[in-house]
Amino acid sequence: MRESIKIKSDNYNFKFRVSGLVINNNKLLLVDMDDSGFLCLPGGYVELGETTEQAICREMQEELGYKLEIIKYLGVVENFFVNKNNRKMHEICFYYLLKPFKEEDAKYNDYILIENDKGHNIKLNFKWINIIELDNYDIRPEFLKKIVKNNKPIIIDHIIFNEL
């Protein structure tokens, strides 16, 4: 088993992640993890020795149950925020636009998955949210709403997003 790239210190937790935008019929796939009260993009940690492309494909298959392919790289975001446990976080996240490898495998309904992530059970509540209704939801990071609303995700490039 590979190790996820994350570091804990007294002041900050660091994590190296990937996230995927999957859009179908003007709806964006989002997830509420462990009833956090907010939605984010599906994805997960990059593991040592793994490229971000390999990580997003692996994570999405683990969470969705079918293979997805990368349409395009959208960019990388450096994000500073306080998590639900009141810990300061420093995150580097690579974003990709994805689509199902085989359309017949895709699921376009809301569902719940209990994922065993290296010995920890995580409840993943997947929801398809209409793009025109994104402002009605607490989506994090907040900038995602702007990127997705035009239904043509743009290159994010490298930005620093600070919610502290």
The answer to whether 80 and 4 have CB atoms below 8 angstroms apart is no
pLDDT tens sequence across 121-146: 889 999 999 999 999 999 988 888 87
Tokens of 23: 């859009």
pLDDT tens sequence across 65-124: 899 999 999 888 888 888 878 889 999 999 999 999 888 888 888 888 888 777 788 899
Ordered by where they begin, the domains of the chain are 6-162 (3.90.79.10)
The pTM for the full model equals: 0.87
Cis upstream peptide for 100 (omega within 30°): no
Catalogue the E-assigned strands of 39-119. Answer: 43-45, 68-82, 88-100, 111-117
Give the Cα separation of 41 and 44 in Å (integer): 9
CB 84: neighbour CB atoms within 10 A?
Answer: 11
Q: Lowest-pLDDT range, 33-37, 58-62, 84-88, 157-161?
A: 157-161
